[in-house]
Structure 1
Amino acid sequence: MAADIYKLPFVDGLFDTATMIRTLHHMTEPQAALHQVRRTMQTGATFILEYANKQNIKAILRYFLSRQSWSPFSLQSVEFEKLNFDYHPKMVRNWLSESGFTLERQLAVSYFRLGAFKKYLPLNLLVRMDAILQPTGNWCQLSPSVFTRSYAVGDTQKASEGMFFKCPVCEADFLKPHQASLICQKCSRAWPIREGIFDFRVNVG
């Protein structure tokens, strides 16, 4: 399926589990994306999120050695390449809370992502070393990548049986199949199905 993360085509309270891995760092509005994910989840649902951490050891060293201009300690996101963002852990925790999630666990991963480590140390050793350090993410986040496990809180009504898609434009929750499209019964917009893939990015109506 292809869709806009800021206008997900799913009804409210649909999923009991969701993951977002290696994607948040490409989003210009991460909090809006997390709000959309929460909207589609049932109360108590599990959400696994991975994000790129700006407050990692390499960035801290580069900052103190004057090899980068941005501070790894500031709360603002940094766009180090076009549409590639690093986020401060505190901001991500705030976004999760404001979106309706309760953070349960954090894992700090990829401490040994540097090319020199990969070149001179065996892979199985790097994996074991990283596994030992991962639980430190519950106390401090100094790795380039952080995994979080959260639970959806609040009072979200579970989606009715048989309900799945909704129109991402008018938000009507009844789309009717017609030939190679789904037709919104409220605004009459048509969303194509191309080679079995639902495409909610393009209006073909």
Structure 2
Amino acid sequence: MMQDIQSPPEICDYEGATYRTDFWEGKGRDYEDRVERLALRRLLPQRGERLLEIGAGFGRLTQEYNTYNQVVLLDYSLSQLQYAQAHLGTSGRYVYVAANAYKLPFQQGVFDGATLIRVIHHFVDAPAVLAQIRHALTPDATFILEFANKRNLKAVIRYALKQQTWNPHALEPVEFAALNFDFHPQYIEHALFDAGFATGERIPVSFFRVAVLKRLVPTGLLVGMDNILQRSGLLYAPSIFVRSRATGDTPNHLDTDDIFACPECGKPLTRRREALYCEHDDLHWAIRDGIYDFKAPLEQS
């Protein structure tokens, strides 16, 4: 898990990938989609002003956040955001941002909600990302995190039968494939605390994520059983949703419309035609057909 301090963390880039059609649509994951929406609806507040959806992808879950007046969709993939924009529209309700989650391009305290669903398992340095998220949130903001559970029932059984080498009860994350990490629930709780969050309700999700069950048992029945087990508190499911609250006396700039800051230095940006400009670093960041692109600064002639 340790990185060379001089090298930036490696990033999982879905640019140009057909993730929507390769993984979700028509791929037998209706069960997962439905139970994740159930968990989200349990955890979301009744109302909010501005929510940051980190790892929004093609916008699969974005319309679940209709209790917020504005949703900022952030993803590293410009092509995923382009698809989301084509289907969600270009009204002020949705803002599209291509950026690196290790360097969020936002001023402090400009969101009163954030979500990170099916994303944290791709981060080599998850605590660094959590710290970035906390910086962008107001005090008492709601943060909903989903993580792949290292201590899931299948892993516990496999370890007991000596069919896997890594210990699901050990706290450190395990990288089971390149840029794919499972996390222990207690590790996540500690990481959230260190980043400035108080952990609240935790919901285990996708108890029946087994191919043969999904093939033989009606999806509606699986969803109904998962709905019951989500209330059990048994943190042995493959996926766990956590609702946390931002703690501490940090700035609240929720009333500002100028939410962006330079991802390199954190200074405010000014609009210059189809770009945002950082006077401190003399950097320009492009606005491409309504999508704010902070992946790399524009080259200056």
Range into which the TM-score falls when normalised by the shorter chain: over 0.9
1:181–1:190 Cα contact (<8 Å) kept = yes
Q: How far is 1:168 from its partner?
A: 0.8
Give the superposition deviation at 1:29: 0.6
Q: Are 1:149 and 2:238 matched, yes or no?
A: no
1:191 aligns with 2:285: yes
| Number of aligned positions between the proteins | 202
Cα RMSD of the aligned pairs, angstroms, is 1.1
- 1:82 correspondence with 2:215: no
Find the aligned partners of 1:162 and 1:25 in 2 and give their Cα distance. 31
Give the unaligned 5+ runs of structure 1. none
> Residue 106 of structure 1 contacts residue 135 of structure 1 at CA under 8 Å; is this kept in 2?
no
What is the deviation of 1:23? 0.4
Q: Does 1:21 align with 2:114?
A: no
Moved more, 87-96 or 176-185: 176-185
Partners of 1:161 and 1:63 in 2: how far apart?
51
Normalising by structure 2, report the TM-score. 0.65
Aligned to 2:203: 107
Query: Matches of residues 17-166 of structure 1 in structure 2 within 5 Å?
Result: 17-137=113-233, 140-159=234-253, 161-166=256-261
SS at match of 1:136: coil
Distance 1:13 1:45 in 2: 9
- Which deviations, in whole Å up to 9, do the C-alpha atoms of 1:147-184 show, x marking residues without a partner? 011111100111162331000112112x1222321111
Q: C-alpha distance in 2, partners of 1:127/1:183?
A: 48
* 2:173 and 2:182 in contact (8 A); partners too: yes
Partner Cα distance (1:5, 1:171) in 2: 14
Q: What are the ranges of 5 or more consecutive residues in structure 2 without an aligned counterpart?
A: 1-96
- Using the alignment, how far apart are the partners of 1:66 and 1:44 within structure 2? 44
Distance 2:125 2:215 in 1: 36
Shift of 1:8: 0.4
Q: Using the alignment, how far apart are the partners of 1:117 and 1:191 within structure 2? A: 48
Distance 2:272 2:206 in 1: 47
Q: Distance in 1 between matches of 2:273 and 2:135?
A: 30
Give the match for residue 273 of structure 2. 179
User: In the alignment, is the contact (CA less than 8 A) between 2:110 and 2:256 conserved in 1?
Assistant: no
1:53–1:144 Cα contact (<8 Å) kept: yes
Q: TM-score, normalised by structure 1?
A: 0.95
Secondary structure of 2:244 counterpart: strand
Residue number in structure 2 paired with 1:169: 264
Shift of 1:195: 2.1
What does the per-residue CA deviation read over 1:1-57, in whole Å, with 9 as the maximum and x for residues that have no partner? Answer: 111111100000110111110000110011110111011000011111100001000
Letter in 2 for 1:162: D
Q: Return the structure number with greater relative CO, CA threshold 8 A, min gap 6.
A: 1
**Matched letter for residue 152 of structure 1:** A
SS, match of residue 135 in structure 1: coil
Separation of aligned partners in 2, 1:201 and 1:18: 20
Displaced runs of 4 or more, over 6 A: none
Corresponding residue for 2:105? 9
User: Alignment partner of 2:232: what SS?
Assistant: helix
Tell whether the 8 Å contact from 2:109 to 2:136 is kept in structure 1 after alignment. yes
2:251, 2:271 → 1: CA distance? 26
Percent sequence identity over matched residues?
44
